[in-house]
Amino acid sequence: MAIQWTPNLSVGVDHIDDQHKIWFEKANDLFEAGKNRRSKEVIGELLGFLDDYTKQHFRDEEAYMKKIGYPDLDKQVAAHKHFVEQLAKLKQDYESSGGSLTVIINANQMVLSWLTQHISNMDKQIGVYVKNMK
């Protein structure tokens, strides 16, 4: 199963969509590396990248919501914080398991379904708000 951004996940704000697309690519790289039993170092690096990219993306998304006066900013910040914590836990589990393939595959499913749900339920609302502003 490849991890892919699909047009039904479009939020309708280009720079957010672009970052989501990159995010899915990176999650896919990680998933593939796990499947292909790449070295612990390669997977560790990809996990680190995904972790950094996620944090940067959330910072950008939150700055944008602030700029447009988005009313549900607090809910978004709380959801983002929770996800960053899950990612940190995943990194820890991976390291403490000594680079387990199961950890990486399960984690990928978790991470992917979380973000897909988050985009569909919460991020799309940002696009609705922007549309109504015009």
Interface residue list for Fe ion (CB under 5 A): 76, 123
Which CB, 62 or 95, lies closer to Fe ion? 62
Cα–Cα distance measured from residue 35 to residue 102, given in angstroms and rounded to the nearest whole number: 9
Which CB, 17 or 123, lies closer to Fe ion? 123
Which CB, 78 or 101, lies closer to Fe ion? 78
3-state secondary structure of 34: helix
3-state secondary structure of 25: helix
Residue 63 beta carbon to Fe ion: minimum distance, rounded to whole angstroms: 12
Residue 97: phi and psi, rounded to 5, are -85, -5
Residue 75 beta carbon to Fe ion: minimum distance, rounded to whole angstroms: 9
Torsion sign (Cα): 30, 34, 35, 37: positive
Residue 70 beta carbon to Fe ion: minimum distance, rounded to whole angstroms: 10
Contacts 24+ apart (CB under 8 A), 77-81: 79/118, 79/122
Which CB, 96 or 117, lies closer to Fe ion? 117
Residue 39 beta carbon to Fe ion: minimum distance, rounded to whole angstroms: 32
**Residue facing Fe ion at closest CB distance:** 123
